[in-house]
A = this chain, B = another copy of it.
Amino acid sequence: MATINSNYLKLPGSYLFSMIGEKVREYEAAHPEKKVIRLGIGDVTQPIAPAVIDALHSAVDEMGKAESFRGYAPDLGYEFLRNTIAEKDFQDRGCDISADEIFVSDGAKCDCGNIQEIFGTDNVIAVQDPVYPVYVDSNVMAGRTGSYDESLGQFRNVIYLPCRKENGYVPQLPDRVPDLIYLCFPNNPTGAVMKKDQLQTWVDYARKNGSVLLFDAAYEAYIHEMDVPHSIYECEGAGECAIEFRSFSKTAGFTGLRLGFTVIPKTLEVEGVRLWDLWARRHGTKYNGAPYIVQRAGEAVYSEAGRAQVSEQIARYMENAGIIRNGLLEAGYEVSGGVNAPYIWLKTPGNMTSWEFFDALLERADVVGTPGSGFGPHGEHYFRLTAFGSRENTIEAVERMKRMS
């Protein structure tokens, strides 16, 4: 008699963004005349850059001819892409990362969700609170989190690292030592960053305690200020304790193309075993590579034309961020983020809960955002807006929010 993985039943409600999608669908069905503006899910709106489109077309042509057709991709990704990534994203920044430490994948979400598999189920995880829900949820599914405490809105065996206004949304070292520490900087949802010396503290802490850092750098392309590390490997010793996740989704608008990568230095060992070997084995067994045409698209992001076009897109989103940030400040909101990240993090007015504000914003301004509480208990009474809308929609949304208050 088959049984289910009962850990799934510990997950409260449905996945945050699925739930938002459902609410919005219902609202739109009930109010077909309304023009709803989505600044909720962090999905981009600018089209794929021309240099990338060209690369896609030419790769598609290759797939249509016997002499240039490509079947299964190499397990860890094509060398043309891995070499480019290693050079441009790491070596050019002085990070000692080589091409064969890059694992190409179909996105950082999958990698962040799957990475926990290579660790023991007895490992205790720590997460920033609030943070991207996948870290906790994937560990719930694996049985690593204990049960859910309804009253606290927390899992009993997870170490939550509160990120609030008082600490600049940067967590303090915990009292109890975690085995696995998820860090996301620039942070989703708060938009906060760590300076290099702050991140170094975490690297030193992990090395001293035998913890592994799982560093999600999906938003590194949005870093604007100096002295904010783009990669954890800018810190000394990170090669012995850290895994890094990267994404093309927000860097180059690949949310619908699906491409990302994970970096596991060969120097990173746990119990005398290289995590590189375990992840390579997982890739070989349960994954079959990102599409060739998409890997060519990824390569084009690093070309001269690609870089210029993509930088312009990012600049445009960051102008949106400025518009939201300044507009909400004018309207009297308490706001952070939006400087080194495409996310604006605001305090809900009148001490509304995050979901109350979600409903109010949808009903009174036809604007969709993301309830902060969906990112963890310390996100309650906060709300996330993203800079990924069109310029027109962004301005319109801010105007509507000003009229609301």
Contacts and interface: CB of A to CB of B under 8 A. Distances in A.
B47 A286 contact: no
A293 interface: yes
A233 B1 CA distance: 21
Given A47-B66, A53-B60, A63-B47, A122 B273 contact: no
Interface stretch (A112-120, A157-165, A223-231, A299-307): A112-120
Interface in A1-40: 1-6, 8-9, 11, 14-15, 17-18
A281 B15 contact: yes
A130 B239 CA distance: 41
Given A57-B60, A65-B47, A288 B4 contact: no
A256 B18 contact: no
Interface residues of A, number: 86
Contacts of A1: 177, 179, 209-211
Interface string A278-300: 10011011111111111000000
A349 interface: no
B73 A273 contact: no
A62 B26 CA distance: 28
Contact of A6 (B120, B180, B256): B120
Interface string A171-195: 0000001011000000000000000
B5 A255 contact: no
Given A46-B69, A56-B60, A72-B41, A119 B18 contact: no
Given A48-B63, A285-B15, A270 B70 contact: no
A253 B69 CA distance: 10
A43 interface: yes
Given A1-B211, A107-B288, A286-B138, A47 B71 contact: no
Contacts of A284: 14-15, 17-18
A44 interface: yes
A390 B67 CA distance: 11
Contacts of A289: 256, 258
Nearest to A247: B288
Given A4-B119, A4-B275, A110-B287, A69 B47 contact: yes
A223 to B, nearest CB: 22
A212 interface: yes
A120 B5 contact: yes
B286 A113 contact: yes
Contacts of A180: 2
22 contacts: A2-B179, A3-B119, A3-B122, A4-B118, A5-B117, A5-B118, A5-B119, A6-B120, A14-B284, A18-B284, A47-B63, A47-B65, A47-B66, A48-B64, A56-B60, A57-B57, A66-B390, A117-B141, A137-B285, A141-B286, A256-B289, A258-B290
